[in-house]
Amino acid sequence: MHAMPDATKGSVSGTADEIARLREELRAEKAARLAVESSYGALQAAFSRLEGGVLLLDTDRVLFANPAIAEAFDIPSERFVRMTRDQFVRELRRSSNEPPDFLDRLRERTPNAVETRGEFEIQWPQWRSLRWVSKPVRLPTGAGLLVLFDDITTDSDLASGREQRALIDDLTGLENRKAGEQSAMREIARARRTGHPLSFVLFDVDHFKSVNDTHGHLAGDAVLREVSRTMMELPRGGDTAVRWGGEEFLVILTDVGLDGARVFAERVRMAIGDLRVAGVGPVTISAGISELETGEDDPAPAIARADASLYEAKSQGRNRVV
């Protein structure tokens, strides 16, 4: 009789082949990882002294960022190389002038033979203008992207950026009083030219001193930020919201008379009344309104009338428009 085939031998042989294949894959993966680490070390040594920024990404994460690019984006190099590619894109969105074509380039996950370039502005930690070039590269682990940055900010650019920042209130992001006075003068000139009405609404957060005394200045800052957010959301595109000082806010309403200003102020008052600031609770606000009168070419008298109306609203019990 002929001997039957030993199925066990075939099974053992298949298992051994599978183990050998897995070992080979692990060796290849380890070799690729070591190659990437070696490439990173070489890049670090070569690019650490460059004035221009250098960024290397694979399909999933940031592999390398030299000191110049880390400084430009105000992100420590060691944190840079722990970021995923998507995290870096989200960080980049914090800039004031989002570079959409650059973000599109960073979102790509497949190799592209086309070199792309452009310019954009960032505002962390300070206003800068950057030129970038992205180049597709092949890495041991697959497709990658090499991005080179040059700082092309001029002294005049920096001066312009400083002037712009000087007109913004740091806490709220609204125009500060200096900028608000400039806006008021500009809108008065336009109203005189067109014959259209111009109104002012002066708001004051009720019992704000009590908020600071009871909950602390950080809570007071949170209240001001929430109120300012509402101030930015409710006005129309041509209107201007200003942090006038302390807990006072001025809104300049173009092409709006007293009746329209009252409607707007009531909308803001009700929206503020719906706020619930963490650790503080409900917040209310009072408002005084005024309209630019014929022959007035300075905002001071109209704002003074709004201030007098605001004082009356406070004396009548607060949380109201006068």
Strands 116-122 and 142-151: unpaired
Residues of the chain with pLDDT under 70: 1-16, 29-50, 93-105, 107-113, 123-127, 154-166, 237
Grouping H, G, I as helix, E, B as strand and the rest as coil, residue 293 is: coil
DSSP conformation letters of 9-71: HHHHHHHHHHHHHHHHHHHHHHHHHHHHHHHHHHHHHHHTT-SSEEEEEESSBEEEE-HHHHH
Phi, psi of 250 (to 5 degrees): -115, 135
pLDDT of residue 259: 95
Distance (Å, whole) CA 93 – CA 225: 21
Nearest partner of 211 among 277, 266, 272, 274, judged by Cα: 277
268, containing H or E segment: helix 258-273
Residues taking part in catalysis: 247
pLDDT of residue 14: 58
Angle CA 70–75–78, to nearest 5: 80
pLDDT of residue 149: 84
Grouping H, G, I as helix, E, B as strand and the rest as coil, residue 199 is: strand
